[in-house]
Amino acid sequence: MKKVNYTNKRRVLIVDDVEVHRVMMNTFLSKINPFMTIDQASSVPEAIATLSDGHFDAVVSDWNLPGQGGEVLLKWMRARANFNRVPFIMVSSNTDNQDIIHAFMTFGVDAYVTKPFKAQDLYEKITAAYDKRNPD
């Protein structure tokens, strides 16, 4: 098992329509790695605008966003060369294995976290997904 680095200076975008979920993820991840920069968005259009403004190392997104779901954001990312190596970590309360497999196979989700989750598990999924997409 690879040792997890808690000092990586990564920039992560958290996308969730529920403000308390965004705040909790931000707080938990910041406590685990205080060197991490975390941006937040509450919708797909806001996430796209935020991503368009800079470099990100990972996106953690709720899958069931109102209006446009997480799959719309992921398709947008994968259609752009500068986001091909940015991992997409899906967060959802959906535990249906068929839906999870579909998200991985059809959309190219890098990791899946089921709500509720432990902050440590989310951080490790972000780190593992980043390392897998950026092996150099």
Domain residue ranges of the chain, discontinuous segments joined by +: 11-122
pTM higher than the cut 0.75: yes
Sheet with strand 58-62: strands edge to edge: 37-41, 11-15, 58-62, 88-92, 111-114
Q: What average pLDDT does the structure give for the chain?
A: 86
Superfamily of domain 11-122: Response regulator (3.40.50.2300)
pLDDT-derived band at 4, boundaries 50, 70, 90 = low
Report the C-alpha gap between 48 and 76 in whole angstroms.
Answer: 8
Distance of CA 65 to the CA centre of its chain: 13
Report the C-alpha gap between 63 and 61 in whole angstroms.
Answer: 6
Given a cut of 60, whether residue 1 has pLDDT beyond it is no
Given a cut of 90, whether residue 133 has pLDDT beyond it is no
Token representation of residue 50: 């935020």
Q: Report pLDDT digits (tens) over 76-104.
A: 999 999 998 899 999 887 666 566 566 65
Among 8-17, 87-96, 113-122, where is mean pLDDT lowest?
87-96
- Give me the pLDDT at residue 73, please: 93
Token representation of residue 21: 């979920």
